[in-house]
Amino acid sequence: MAHDEKSNPAKRAAAVVGGGLLVAVGVVLLVLPGPGLLLVLAGLVVLSNQFPSVEKYVDPVQDRAMKAAEQSVSSPLRITGSVLAGLALIGGGVTWGLLGRRVWLGGWATGSSLILSGLVLLALLVYSYRRVQAKRRQHQGSDHH
């Protein structure tokens, strides 16, 4: 992706803030069951639109993110753990929002972030499961021919 030296400063700032935020949240979520690596990938893609030097990191992270997504649905135990983690994030977000200032970083800003993270985790889990199932059907179909 070629970088235009006269790119819109507002667009460039939005890419830096949005991409940087996605990478930062993704890195934080790497230690939790969730879409950390996929968020890092999304952030790198956004940043690479404005900073071509970032592009070299997109493919390796994409490969690892897809493998991690497939591993997350490789067994019923992993699926159950991921679903429970997503539901816990949503429940924690609602709790954090309702408790407000009575808890550290309480309120709907933090609560909605947790809820969104839980929803993203569940959506990515469904995506990963469907992707793995489609691959399995494809392999089964090619074995019969």
87 or 13, which is more confident? 87
Q: How many CA atoms lie within 13 A of 78 on its CB side?
A: 14
98 or 132, which is more confident? 98
Please indicate, yes or no, whether the overall pTM of this predicted structure exceeds 0.85. Answer: no
- How far, in whole angstroms, is CA 103 from its chain's centroid? 26
Q: Please report which confidence band the pLDDT of residue 12 belongs to, taking 50, 70 and 90 as the band edges.
A: confident
Report whether pLDDT(1) > 50.
Answer: no
42/19 Cα distance (integer angstroms): 7
Compute the average pLDDT of residues 38-58.
Answer: 90
Residue 90 near residue 119, CB atoms below 8 Å: yes
Report whether pLDDT(5) > 70.
Answer: no
Using N-to-C axis directions, what is the helix angle for 58-71 and 108-143, rounded to 10°?
A: 80
Could you report the per-residue pLDDT of 107-136, keeping only the tens digit for each?
898 888 888 878 888 888 888 888 888 888
